[in-house]
Structure 1
Amino acid sequence: MIGAILGVMILHPVTSVIYWYEFGGVGDGATGNPASLALDRLATAFQFEMLPMSLTFAAIGGVIGLAFGAYHMRLMRERSRVRYLEHELNEELPLLIARGEGEQLEFKSSFRWDRQQQQVNRNLQKVIVKTIAGFPNHEGGTLLIGVEDSGEIAGIEADLQTLKHANPDGFERLLMDVAKDGLGGNSCALIHCRFHQLSEQTVCRVIIEKSLDPIYFTDNGVARFMLRAGNSTRELDVREAHAHLHQRGRTS
């Protein structure tokens, strides 16, 4: 609406002045000056015979306004995203752990190393991906890998020893690969990994952003909708998922 108004009130008179200059000050407005020509165009913009031209400039201004509005909304989303990541990263990890698990915080002792069986258990990777899937469908959050439910630091050193590249880069690469397989490639842009040293142990801090679109966890070809609720992640059936997405669309 603002773009359409500016198209008629500004773009139309300015275009007339440019046209006047292009032809050396002859034609319409030749006996006056650019200012008087612009005011004349503005005064006659709403006359019946000028209505088609005014509507044309209103449409041009409206398109420009829509483009600017879309760019502004995208910029605001990016700023909101940056503020969210800065807030998550600025919070000290010991203080974060001291808060305990909640709606936006989950602890997992390992990624793929089964501490009870003392061997690799790829089902644990599936649990990690399901947990990650619940965060973007709500408000985003943080997953700490290498931390027991009690808050005790377990570290990911045992996980690292199972990798071909036994370092944080190899860990992050595998995490992103299983996330891509389970959640789709678009989800990887929402997942950010950082590594911290606590009590001489390495903790992986996975920050997951809120998603504007639903994220589904695919298991054996079946898409499942996971949602973070309280301090746990639960699967919603079709009716619950539809109701949640409908409510989310109304509030967003």
Structure 2
Amino acid sequence: MDEKAKLIHTAYRGIEKSIPELAEIFQIEDGHPFDVAPAVGKELALLGLIISPPINAGEFEQKRVVSVSDKVPDSYVRDEILKGEGAHLEFKSTLLHDIKQSKSRPDTPIGQISPEKVVHSCLKTVCGFLNAEGGVLYVGIEDNLNIFGLDKDFEFLGPGGDFDKWELRFRSLVEGRFLDGKVVLHHLKITSHTIDCKLVARVEVARREKESFLKDGKNYRFYIRTGNRTDHISIENLPSIVRRRDQNRPDF
């Protein structure tokens, strides 16, 4: 497999590369950044790949996330869901609506029920994927593969709640709760899909080379995906876990 083919293969889950590294893969001769960057952009476009931050933003040497540009079709999403949860796939019923609390407090308006537990559960999964090999989080799907949809989350958002507002809230939560949330956002691709007449969200998470930490109360914690679980790793055990993870990661 040549270098371009490897890039396409790994981009399906997201891979971090700088513009100089991409220039080397594309065999673009060294030159001024103003010449190299557009040339890299053209090569990416030919391969159907996108980069975040985009070519015209950020520092020339900084790491960027390379991923596939096309939105996956609903037919692919349906097949992916049927595989069930695993090391790279997780389902959450909601992001903003706490179903258990709502059932125990049926007379309480949905907007007055704290979503903290379900929010943290979703973001913890994102953190685990970032620190492992990446993965996909679906919101609007129950563990038993029942399609729950996003209607309750939209209701929590108030009048006019829709997927655009939902995505904005999700991105705001990521930016505010991760140690370097603005950088983490570049590792996410969020799309909506209609399955069984219900809208669900697909959050594709690219792995990071740098460790990601999620705020839990007053402290930041490290989570990593282990099989179909997302585990919290204590600070004293972090160096050995990261060392083992990096040894098992492919070079590309």
TM-score, normalising length: structure 2? 0.65
> How many positions carry a matched residue from both structures?
185
- Looking at both structures, which has the greater relative contact order when contacts are Cα pairs under 8 Å and sequence separation is at least 6? 2
Question: Judging changes above 3 Å, is the alpha-carbon distance between structure 1 residues 73 and 187 closer, same or farther for their aligned structure 2 residues?
Answer: farther
SS of 2:130 mapped into structure 1: coil
Q: Distance in 1 between matches of 2:20 and 2:100?
A: 57
The CA RMSD over aligned residues, in Å, is: 2.8
Partner of 2:152: helix, strand, or coil? helix
1:93-112 correspondence runs (5 A): 93-112=77-96
Q: Tell me, in whole angstroms, the C-alpha distance in 1 between the residues paired with 2:192 and 2:21.
A: 38
Q: CA 1:70–1:231 in 2, change beyond 3 Å: closer, same or farther?
A: closer
Q: TM-score, normalised by structure 1?
A: 0.65
CA distance in 2, matches of 1:111, 1:245: 29
1:188 and 1:112 map into 2 onto residues whose CA distance is 19
Summarize the Cα distance change of 1:195–1:93 in structure 2 as closer, same or farther, 3 Å threshold: same
Q: Which residue of 1 aligns with 2:202?
A: 205
Which of structures 1 and 2 has the bigger CA Rg? Answer: 1
Greater shift after overlay, 168-177 or 217-226? 217-226
Q: 1:223 aligns with which of 220, 228, 233?
A: 220
Which structure carries more helix by proportion? Answer: 1
CA distance in 1, matches of 2:157, 2:230: 27
1:244 Cα shift? 2.1
What do residues 8-50 of structure 1 show as CA deviations (whole Å, max 9, x unaligned)? xxxxxxxxxxxxxxxxxxxxxxxxxxxxxxxxxxxxxxxxxxx
* 2:72 counterpart residue number: 89
Amino acid at match of 2:83: R
Superposed CA offset, 1:68-113 (max 9, x none): 66742696xx789757546983671111111000000000011111
Unaligned runs of 5+ in 2: 1-18, 27-39, 51-65, 103-109
Contact 2:126 2:205 in 1 (8 A): yes
State the identity as a percent.
Answer: 23
Q: Which of 165, 179, 191 does residue 188 from structure 2 map onto?
A: 191
